[in-house]
């Protein structure tokens, strides 16, 4: 498997990948003709059944990989209105059962636990992350922080050491520097098996909730310039030296820019994926 995998977050919303009128069920097989990995983010809103996960396993090439986003109640985001009321243990058991088909198929790159902007660096939150690590001890677990306190000068090294001790994968972020609810670029490896980078864009104005009704739609509206992507080449090479594999995921898709950014990065890194699905139609 290539030591650097590049993909985007979700496969349903990238209209420039699909012929007009493509049904939802046909999008993933087409997606796998362009990228070797995807972030499965619908699992943040609802835990997918193991049957559904098995369908996605069967719809992808043998080498294809998924980064699966953890259910929102397991990362402190609370219960979605209308969602069933379940205990923490029940959510863990259901999430674990959901992940098994991908794990058994060798297609589960990591389970992504993305904590909210208010999830600051406290002893209670450290204890909770240890609880998550124990509950998913036999899964590759990636941790993404969105509160700057984890990387303040007095906590940065301690945070990285904690992740390393627990064999957790530190998710490196490229995102707007927009106050306490954002984190700086910290290109460090805490688990030698894998490093993950998520590119959220640099839309400073749209990052924080300003009361706009379309805030979530514009938050990730950003197209990376060539110069901004070039800045990352050194970081990626550094991560590659310390991890067996590096995964780059582009989430800057509020206005459909993620595929463009991902393809540019593939070109800049000189990557050539030989085990993609055959393309039925050359669109890009």
**What residues are paired with 66 via a beta bridge?**
38, 108
Segment (H or E) for 174: strand 169-174
Residue 19: inside a domain, yes or no? yes
**248-265: average pLDDT:** 95
**Residue 283 pLDDT level (bands cut at 50, 70, 90):** very low
β-pairing, 4-9 vs 246-250, is: parallel
User: Is residue 276 domain-resident?
Assistant: no
Sign of torsion over alpha carbons 212, 215, 218, 219: positive
Q: Which helix (H) or strand (E) holds 205?
A: helix 204-207
Cα–Cα dist 16/31, whole Å: 11
Residue 90 lies in a domain: yes
> Largest Cα–Cα distance of the chain, in whole Å?
53
Q: Answer yes or no: is pLDDT of 284 > 60.
A: no
- DSSP output for 49-117: PHHHHHHHHHTS-TT-EEEEEPPGGGTTS-PPTTPPP--HHHHHHHHHHHHHHHHHTT-EEEEEEE--T
State the chain's mean pLDDT as an integer: 94
Say if 83 falls within a structural domain.
yes
pLDDT at 210: 66
The tens digit of pLDDT for each residue in 9-30 reads 999 989 889 999 999 999 999 9
Neighbours of 71 (CB within 10 A): 25
Residue 284 inside a domain? The answer is no
Say if residue 213's pLDDT is above 80.
Answer: no
Q: State which residues form the domain around 242.
A: 4-269
Helix (H, G, I), strand (E, B) or coil at 29: helix
| Position 280 in a domain | no
pLDDT at residue 280 greater than cutoff 70: no
pLDDT digits (tens, 9 = 90+) for 131-176: 999 999 999 999 999 999 999 999 999 999 999 999 999 999 999 9
pLDDT at 219: 85
Q: Rounded to whole angstroms, how far apart are CA atoms 236 and 259?
A: 19
How many domains, in total, are found in the chain?
1
Mean pLDDT value of segment 230-240: 97
The pLDDT tens digits of the residues spanning 187-196 come to 999 999 999 9
Q: Is residue 119 part of a domain?
A: yes
CATH number at residue 98: 3.20.20.410
Residue 37 has pLDDT above 70, yes or no: yes
Q: How far apart are CA 97 and CA 244, in angstroms?
A: 27
| Of 49, 48, 38, 43, residue with least CA distance to 14 | 38
* Contact call for residues 37 and 250 (beta carbons, < 8 A): no
Beta bridge partners of 9: 39
Q: How far apart are CA 30 and CA 12, in angstroms?
A: 11
């Amino acid at each position: 498997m290539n030591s650097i995998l590049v993909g985007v977050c979700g496969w349903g919303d990238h209209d420039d990948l699909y012929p007009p009128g493509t049904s939802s069920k046909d999008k993933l097989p087409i997606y796998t003709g362009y990228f070797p990995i995807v972030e499965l983010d619908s699992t943040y809103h609802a835990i997918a059944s193991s049957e559904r996960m098995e369908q996605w396993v069967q719809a992808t090439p043998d080498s294809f990989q998924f980064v699966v986003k953890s259910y929102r109640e397991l990362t402190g985001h609370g219960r979605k209105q209308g969602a069933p009321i379940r205990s923490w243990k029940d959510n863990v058991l259901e999430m674990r059962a959901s992940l098994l088909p991908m794990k058994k198929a060798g297609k589960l790159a990591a389970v992504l636990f993305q904590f909210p902007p208010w999830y600051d660096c406290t002893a209670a939150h450290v204890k909770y992350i240890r609880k998550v690590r124990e509950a998913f001890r036999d899964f590759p677990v990636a941790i993404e922080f969105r509160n700057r306190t984890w990387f303040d000068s007095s906590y940065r090294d301690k945070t990285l050491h904690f992740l390393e001790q627990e064999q957790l994968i530190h998710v490196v972020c490229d995102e707007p520097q927009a106050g306490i609810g954002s984190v700086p670029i910290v290109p460090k490896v805490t688990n030698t098996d894998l490093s993950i980078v998520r590119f959220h864009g640099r839309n400073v104005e749209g990052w924080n909730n300003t009361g706009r009704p379309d805030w979530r739609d514009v938050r990730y509206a950003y197209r990376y310039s060539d110069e901004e992507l070039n800045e990352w080449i050194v970081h990626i090479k550094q991560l590659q030296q310390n991890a067996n594999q590096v995964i780059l995921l582009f989430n800057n898709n509020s206005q459909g820019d993620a595929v463009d950014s991902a393809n540019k990065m593939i070109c800049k890194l000189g990557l050539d994926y030989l085990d993609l699905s055959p393309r039925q139609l050359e669109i890009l």
